[in-house]
Amino acid sequence: MSAPEKQAVDLEAQIDSCIAGRESRYEDWDTLGFQAAKGGDRFKRAQIRYIGSGATGNHDGDNRTLPSEHFTFSNMRLPVGAVGPEHTHHDVEEVFFVLEGELEVAVHDVEDGNRKAVRKLGYRDLIRVPAGVPRSLANVGDVDALFCVIIGSKKPELPTYPPSSEMYGVTR
């Protein structure tokens, strides 16, 4: 009996299917627009998706986004003075990696969200926030902040907003 014939892999097609180039990305200001609708313009921010859709909703129809197998990857643009409200990802860790601007990131006490530790991050700084730890962020610089967001799951659960969050009670 002969060994099964191996299918030739089209390496050109394979590598092309793994690239999400910047020219095909766009800033999606609507995906988190429900927060701006509730709390005003200081909650406006744009997601730029590369792998999966993160926890921002269902973007399965976006054929420019690479499918996620183990994690999601996007960029987020946060205008000057804008904030990402306190929220918790119960099922996954989240990583923020700053590309431009200055970001103030806070981790909040699980029992008392008013207690928090805050750090300022700049170019090439990174923070990993474990699952279950409430977090928030704010652009404290004088230019838009652009940062990578990596979430450790193929399709994370929607985050929740603890009682101390300005978005408490808000749903999609």
* Predicted confidence (pLDDT) at residue 75 exceeds the cutoff of 70: yes
Radius of gyration of the chain (CA): 18
CB 91 within 8 A of CB 79: no
Q: How far is CA 147 from CA 21, 37, 105, 125, in A?
A: 17, 23, 12, 10
Structural domains of the chain in order of their starting residue, each with its CATH number: 26-151 (2.60.120.10)
3-12, 92-101, 110-119: range with lowest mean pLDDT: 3-12
DSSP string over 56-118: S---TT-TTSBPPSS-EEEEEEE-TT-EEEEEB-SS--EEEEEEES-EEEEEE-SS-TT-EEE
Per-residue confidence band for 13, with pLDDT thresholds at 50, 70 and 90: very high
* Predicted confidence (pLDDT) at residue 8 exceeds the cutoff of 80: no
What pLDDT does residue 6 have? 67
CB 112 within 8 A of CB 94: no
Share of the chain above pLDDT 90, in %: 80
Can you tell me the distance from the alpha carbon of 32 to that of 47, in angstroms, rounded to the nearest whole number?
8
* Predicted confidence (pLDDT) at residue 59 exceeds the cutoff of 70: yes
What would the mean pLDDT of 33-41 be, rounded to a whole number? Answer: 93
pTM: 0.90
